[in-house]
Chain A
Amino acid sequence: MSHDSPDAVREEAATAAGAPAATPVLQRARGVAEVAFKLVDGETRLDRLLQDGCCKMRFPRVYDGRPVAVLLNTAGGVTGGDDLRYGVTFAPGTRAVATTQAAERIYRRSAGLGRIATRLVVGDGAEAEWLPQETIVFDRAGLDRHLDIDLAGTARLTAVEQIVLGRTAMGETVRTASAIDRWRIRRDGRLVYADTLRLEGDAAAILAGRATGAGAAAMASLVHAGPGAEGRLEELRALFDRFAGEATGVVAGASAVDGLLVARLLAPGGRPLRDCLISVLENFRGRPVPRVWHC
């Protein structure tokens, strides 16, 4: 879809806008931001940084020896045909966090899907956290997202992704969207976790069923990997008992597979999902979520 001919793009744009074919083809956003962390005298330091196009990274001062890469899309949102790539490499033994400056907004497109591809490479003994803020998918938006994670040996990982359909606090409903969100996690080259959320068409109708979303407009996946990860299942379940459940409207489940803890959450909106995740993540990790989550 991202390689439509210009004519096809103009035609679809015109149809979407109900206007003649004079509608201009919008400039598409492109960007790459990649960072690598290395270990120097037992401390995690910045190794290389590459930034091109609309993708940037910032590194706010931290006081706990755990650097934070804050990802930023200067295009201010994603629409059809955009192509954003992020990469974070955690050398063996390093400890660092990657997050996003703000919620990523996927706007109504005239054609094509907006592509966001993130790759994390986590070396033996490293501790990686992928804690982006939520992605908001608006009506008539198209998202094609890939999260690929390579773990080596005893690498540790805590990763979360949240998708919110429309501005739920304002009562928006997403009736037409194409949202595809893929996770692939490999450990020492072997695929241990694959998950693809695929919402194509009337997202609100698809998620109305008791087997699909039970009416949810916000959802999240959480994965924790590393030595002893499976042994923390009861702890994670107890946190969900405390911070999800009927009072919050959040439904959450957790399991342990192939040396991973895996969890899913469904919520009526972005706010209750975020509140639940902050409480669960802070207690589970024993540290606050990145400061940008509160900006």
Chain B
Amino acid sequence: MSPEVVGSGGLLRLLTWLSPAFPVGAFTYSHGLEWAIEAGDVTDAGSLEAWLSDVLRFGAGRSDMILFARAFDAAAHADLDGLREIAELGHALGPSRERRLEASAQGRAFADTVRRTWGAPTLDWLMSADLPLVYPVAVAVACADHGVPPVPGMTATLSAFAANVVSAAVRAVPLGQTDGQRLIARLEPVIAAVVDEARHGTLDDVGGAALAADIASMKHETQYTRLFRS
């Protein structure tokens, strides 16, 4: 079996862990989209596709996938010093208070739930070392502990992120359910390309240019009417 083929046990876990029903509260975060809608930057399916595609390629999407890939390899090789560096970098990369909340609250909730159910020794170590735990790093470590290969894990994680932002848009733009799913279908090649590029990226390759999305998350903190925590 190719190292990137996921077995049925691994597939079940991935489907469960990245399901919108998994209790990390994903539905409460919009990644700053709620402000982009308020500001008139995102008004329909077309402008949402451009915004989200840029966030995937030039923003947290790409950087999170590099963090995932490096955290997976570090956990799989029991490289705890490497894992510590990745965990700290993942946290420090958060550009605003709400984006740090989005990354760390979901990471903590994910790790708490997995530890009390399937169990994950490397997640135990990260929590006991009192290290910050952003969401992609937590999922990567759980995948490594359970033998779920990185590319399926990264694809599932990035796809769940994109679907969550689209779901936020369906509620806040508003956007039709079918339009939302059409957009998710169109983003498939973007997700595949970002995962492919990130798989062998180094920590030095993290970074991007989603500056307006970062500013949107900052301005969201003072938005008068809010459905979302980011």
Give the B-binding residues of A (Cβ under 8 A). 180, 182, 184-185, 190-199, 206-207, 209-214, 216, 219, 237, 251-258, 262-264, 266
Contacts and interface: CB of A to CB of B under 8 A. Distances in A.
Given A180-B207, A211-B59, A212-B209, A191 B97 contact: no
Nearest to A215: B212
Contacts of A263: 218
Nearest to A254: B218
A125 to B, nearest CB: 24
Given A194-B93, A255-B95, A210 B58 contact: no
A195 B95 contact: yes
A210 B36 contact: yes
A192 B207 contact: no
Contacts of B210: 211-212
A210 B50 contact: yes
Contact of A194 (B92, B97, B205, B213): B92
Nearest to B100: A257
A192 B92 contact: yes
B54 to A, nearest CB: 4
Interface string B173-215: 0000000000000000000000000000000011111111111
30 contacts: A182-B207, A191-B89, A194-B93, A196-B206, A196-B208, A197-B207, A197-B211, A198-B208, A209-B58, A210-B36, A210-B51, A210-B54, A210-B212, A211-B41, A211-B50, A211-B52, A211-B210, A212-B54, A212-B59, A212-B210, A252-B215, A253-B214, A253-B218, A253-B219, A255-B96, A255-B98, A255-B221, A257-B100, A262-B95, A264-B95
B33 to A, nearest CB: 9
B152 to A, nearest CB: 26
B94 interface: yes
Nearest to A220: B211
A256 B97 contact: yes
B225 interface: no
A196 B207 contact: yes
B47 interface: yes
A194 B42 CA distance: 28
Given A190-B88, A210-B47, 13 more contacts: A180-B207, A182-B207, A192-B92, A196-B93, A210-B50, A210-B54, A212-B211, A253-B96, A253-B216, A255-B96, A255-B217, A258-B92, A264-B214
A213 B50 CA distance: 13
Contact of B42 (A199, A210, A216, A251): A210
A115 to B, nearest CB: 13
B222 interface: yes
Contacts of A214: 41, 212
Nearest to A207: B209
Determine the main DSSP class of B at the interface with A: helix
A142 B211 CA distance: 20
A266 B58 CA distance: 16
A240 to B, nearest CB: 10
A196 B206 CA distance: 7
Interface string B20-61: 000000000000000010000110000100111011001100
Interface of B: 36, 41-42, 47, 50-52, 54-55, 58-59, 88-89, 91-98, 100, 205-219, 221-222
Given A211-B36, A211-B51, A253-B96, A199 B88 contact: no
Contacts of B88: 190-191
A63 B207 CA distance: 41
A108 B58 CA distance: 24
Contacts of A254: 218
A257 B218 CA distance: 11
B79 to A, nearest CB: 18
A197 to B, nearest CB: 6
Contact of A193 (B54, B58, B92, B219): B92
Contact of B218 (A185, A192, A264): A264
Nearest to A179: B209
B209 to A, nearest CB: 5
A212 B58 contact: yes
Contacts of A207: 209
Instruction: Give the 5 A-B residue pairs with the shortest CB-CB distance, closest first.
Output: A196-B207, A253-B218, A253-B215, A255-B96, A194-B92
A213 B208 CA distance: 11
